């Protein structure tokens, strides 16, 4: 099944992209798993030390230790690149170890978590965005758009336990970055420094897009975050990954034949396949005429119905490198919405583990 999927996807491509070869990827995955062992001694966590919850207020990633008697602060732990890379490695290894989920990877749902954490941003009120991880709390966790994201949050909880110094906000975005890279997407540069907020910072329902609607709605929603037409189309290419679930959004099925590998196939399929309404009792969605195994949402179809959007769909369908370049840029922008990074915040590209 997986092999047929990949063969079909490869056959669809006109331009070869070496990284796309899935078989070597699998071989590499089987032989090349690496375990990271350079965690700083401080994190190995003797019981003599407890983490000070309020340390987040320090800002800029500085973390203080208190001993159990709550006495003086002898140490400051300021996580460095190596520390975040260790978290990346942990997530990447967990992705490899939990292949019995969905199409074989938690990667897509991690990308969706990072996107829904960020996509609540409102450029006018400067509320929402990836700074806060407020989806931990009801009511935001119960918003219809966030249905199913508990799977991603639960997947990351052991990582948070192992690396308690990282904020949920930084962890969720790091997981999105890791998932994109490990699913053979482009490098996604990362800056740390997000701070968790409490329930009072939860955003109101309705900030994320409604899949049943068309281009006007997409523009309203994404312009509110500060994106333009080109960026909207580039972001939507993430739908090369993952699938819809009837028990989450109500929709059903994947967009592409290789839902755990990031490619420009979403655009190619949008243009090249014939799409028809699916006959079923669920919400209105499209299926491909040929195999009836792929899907498009009404909101996806708006990208080929709208003239301006369509120009970008054509560009990305024709040029995977252009898609990767633009996708990386726009995803970095998305993942940084609403984060007040200090000027000297470093930007890192993490080393891939299994990709």
115 binds ligand HEM (CB under 6 A): yes
Q: Which residue has the tokens 């071989």?
A: 27
335 with 342: CB under 8 angstroms?
no
267 binds ligand HEM (CB under 6 A): no
Site string for ligand HEM, 284-323 (x = CB under 6 A): -------------x-x------------------------
Spell 66-86 as b/e; 16+ CB within 10 A means b. Answer: beeeeeeeeeebebeeebbbb
Size of the site for ligand HEM (CB under 6 A): 23
Which range of residues in 38-46, 79-87, 104-112, 199-207 is near ligand HEM by CB under 6 A?
A: 104-112
DSSP code per residue over 96-153 = HH-TTSTTT-SHHHHHHHHHHHHTT-BTTTTB-SSSS-GGGSTTGGGSGGGTTTHHHH
Interacting residue with ligand HEM among 55, 211, 225, 233 (CB under 6 A): 211
335 with 114: CB under 8 angstroms?
yes
243 binds ligand HEM (CB under 6 A): yes
135 binds ligand HEM (CB under 6 A): no
Using CA atoms, how far residue 335 sits from 141, 177, 213, 214, in Å, is: 19, 9, 24, 24
Please pick, among 63, 116, 172, 312, the residue that the annotation labels catalytic.
Answer: 116
Cα 330-332-333 angle, rounded to 5 deg: 65
To ligand HEM, the closest distance from the beta carbon of 215 in angstroms equals 10
175 binds ligand HEM (CB under 6 A): no
Q: Using the minimum distance from each CB to ligand HEM, give the nearer residue, 81 or 101.
A: 101
Q: Using the minimum distance from each CB to ligand HEM, give the nearer residue, 83 or 170.
A: 170
To ligand HEM, the closest distance from the beta carbon of 312 in angstroms equals 13
236 binds ligand HEM (CB under 6 A): yes
To ligand HEM, the closest distance from the beta carbon of 351 in angstroms equals 23
**Whole-number Å distance between alpha carbons of 102 and 245:** 10
**Backbone φ and ψ of 353, nearest 5°:** -105, -55
Which range of residues in 9-17, 63-71, 111-119, 183-191 is near ligand HEM by CB under 6 A?
A: 111-119
Locate 334 and state its tokens.
Answer: 């998305």
- Crossing angle (nearest 10°) for helices 107-118 and 320-335: 50
Active site residue 116: yes
159 binds ligand HEM (CB under 6 A): no
Helix (H) or strand (E) holding 22: helix 22-31
Locate 53 and state its tokens.
Answer: 């919850």
Coil, strand or helix at 295 = strand
Please pick, among 115, 165, 255, 312, the residue that the annotation labels catalytic.
Answer: 255
Say how many residues make up the chain: 355
- Residue number, nearest CB to ligand HEM: 242
238 binds ligand HEM (CB under 6 A): yes
262 binds ligand HEM (CB under 6 A): no
Interacting residue with ligand HEM among 244, 294, 295, 317 (CB under 6 A): 244
**Whole-number Å distance between alpha carbons of 128 and 131:** 7
Binding site for ligand HEM (CB under 6 A): 108-109, 111-112, 115, 148, 209, 211, 218, 235-236, 238-239, 241-245, 248-249, 251, 297, 299
Catalytic residue positions, numbered: 116, 255
């Amino acid at each position: 099944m997986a092999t047929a999927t990949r063969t079909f996807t490869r056959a669809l491509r006109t331009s070869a992209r070496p990284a796309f070869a899935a078989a070597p990827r699998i071989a590499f995955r089987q032989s090349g798993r690496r375990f990271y062992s350079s965690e700083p001694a401080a994190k190995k966590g003797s019981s003599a030390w407890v983490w000070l919850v309020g340390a987040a207020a320090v800002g800029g990633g500085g973390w203080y230790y208190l001993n159990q008697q709550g006495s003086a602060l002898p140490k400051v732990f300021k996580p460095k690149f190596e520390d975040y890379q260790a978290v990346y490695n942990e997530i990447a290894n967990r992705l490899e170890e939990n292949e019995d989920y969905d199409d074989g990877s938690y990667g897509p749902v991690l990308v969706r978590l990072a996107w829904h954490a960020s996509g609540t941003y409102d450029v006018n009120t400067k509320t929402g965005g990836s700074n806060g991880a407020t989806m931990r709390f009801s009511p935001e966790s119960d918003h219809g758009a966030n249905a199913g994201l508990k799977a991603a949050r639960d997947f990351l909880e052991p990582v948070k336990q192992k690396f308690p110094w990282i904020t949920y906000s930084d962890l969720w975005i790091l997981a999105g970055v890791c998932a994109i890279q490990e699913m053979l997407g482009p490098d996604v540069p990362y800056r740390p420094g997000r701070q968790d907020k409490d329930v009072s910072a939860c955003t109101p329902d309705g900030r994320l897009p409604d899949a049943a609607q068309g281009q006007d709605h997409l523009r309203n929603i994404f312009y509110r975050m500060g994106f333009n037409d080109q960026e909207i189309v580039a972001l939507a290419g993430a739908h090369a990954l993952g699938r819809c679930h009837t028990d989450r959004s109500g929709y059903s099925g994947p967009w592409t034949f290789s839902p755990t590998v990031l490619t420009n196939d979403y655009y190619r399929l949008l243009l090249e396949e014939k799409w028809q309404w699916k006959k079923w009792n669920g919400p209105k969605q499209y299926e491909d005429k040929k195999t009836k195994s792929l899907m498009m949402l009404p909101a996806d179809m708006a990208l080929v119905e709208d003239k301006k959007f369509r120009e970008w769909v054509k560009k990305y369908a024709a040029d995977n490198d252009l898609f990767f370049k633009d996708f990386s840029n726009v995803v970095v922008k998305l993942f940084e919405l609403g984060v007040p990074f200090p000027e000297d915040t470093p930007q890192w590209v993490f080393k891939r583990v299994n990709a």
